Structure 1
Amino acid sequence: MFTRIEDFAAEWTNEAELTASVLDALTDDSLGQEVIEGRRTLGQIAWHLVRSLHYMTTLGLVFDEPSGGEEAPASAEHIASEYRRISRDLLHAVRTQWNDETLRESVEIHKEVWPNGGSLHYTIMHQSHHRGQMTILMRQANLRLPDVYGPTYDTWSEKGLAPLV
């Protein structure tokens, strides 16, 4: 749980850059990739990740929702650009509308009580969860994976190193 706005801001900035790098690697053709038929596509997961940030408005933050509606866009560039915009807007809203005391306040969400600082932490973890799902589908779609928390198999190989097994 975050207890200081600037601690959240530092972690959010790093995590948002990692997420943006994953979204930047998507192509329009890859958006339809499914793990199995009938499940969310890569594009649907990516768009859910973008749209889910607006959920923070239920905690009292005010910022615009992503443009494009609920259905996943056919443009990977639109998904990535909307992510960048809404992630900046979320950070700006937290910095200007909340303070360190606000992080200790709690809000009821689906009949559970969540401190605002915990909700911010959950938002980062939710984003990481979907980034992980996306990288599997990206590999299946033959996309080059960006380095997220460490080098990928491709990065090791390009450096002439034996990838760790």
Structure 2
Amino acid sequence: MYKQIADFENTWKHESAGTLRALEALTDDSLGQQITDVNRTLGRLAWHLVQSLHDMTAPMGLVFEAPGSDAPVPTSAADIAAAYKKTSQAMLDAVTSNWKDDNLFVVSNVFGQEWPNGVTLNMLVHHEIHHRGQLTVLMRQAGLRAPDLYGPTLEQWAEHGVTAPVV
């Protein structure tokens, strides 16, 4: 649970930057990649990351510009990345401009659960990380290079002349 706005802000800036790097690596052709016919496509998953920013924070009373839950998945990877960048910043601005640390302790009903807002923001970060992991797997399957998130990628190890450790 976040107890200070500054802690959320610092974490969000780091995590959203990683998500944006992943989204900016997508191509229009890659958006149809999926594991099975019943799983989300890469494009749908990327768009879910955009839409969930508002869907998860609106129950806490945050107001900012964002695509609606019914907005169709764009066919342009660049449009998805641009929407994420804009929406992510708008969400962060809404938190930092409108809330004080005490707002993090206010309990809101989010998806039928009563959570302090600081818990919901923590869930938002974990939700982002969870789906970003799925995103990178689909990116690899689509032949794209996944971004470094918490350390070097296989390609980065190779670029430095190091054989990546196999665990």
TM-score by length of 1: 0.96
Structure 1 residues 23 and 88 mapped into 2: Cα distance closer, same or farther (>3 Å)? same
The aligned residue for residue 22 of structure 1 is 22
C-alpha root-mean-square deviation of aligned residues, in Å? Answer: 1.3
Paired with 1:28 and 1:68, the residues of 2 have a C-alpha distance of 22
What SS does structure 1 have at the residue aligned with 2:130?
Answer: helix
Q: Which digits, 9 at most, give the CA deviation of each residue in 1:5-24, with x for residues without a partner?
A: 11111110011101000001
Q: 2:107 touches 2:117 (CA, 8 Å); kept in 1?
A: yes
Q: 1:31 touches 1:43 (CA, 8 Å); kept in 2?
A: yes
What SS does structure 1 have at the residue aligned with 2:26?
Answer: coil
Aligned ranges for residues 150-165 of structure 1 at < 5 Å?
A: 150-165=151-166
The aligned residue for residue 64 of structure 1 is 65
What SS does structure 2 have at the residue aligned with 1:160?
Answer: coil
The aligned residue for residue 88 of structure 2 is 87
Structure 2 runs not aligned, ≥5 long: none
What SS does structure 2 have at the residue aligned with 1:101?
Answer: helix
Moved over 6 A (4+): none
Paired with 1:152 and 1:69, the residues of 2 have a C-alpha distance of 35
What SS does structure 2 have at the residue aligned with 1:79?
Answer: helix
Q: Which digits, 9 at most, give the CA deviation of each residue in 1:41-65, with x for residues without a partner?
A: 0000000010000121121011012
The aligned residue for residue 41 of structure 2 is 41
What SS does structure 2 have at the residue aligned with 1:143?
Answer: coil
The aligned residue for residue 150 of structure 2 is 149
Paired with 2:20 and 2:47, the residues of 1 have a C-alpha distance of 12
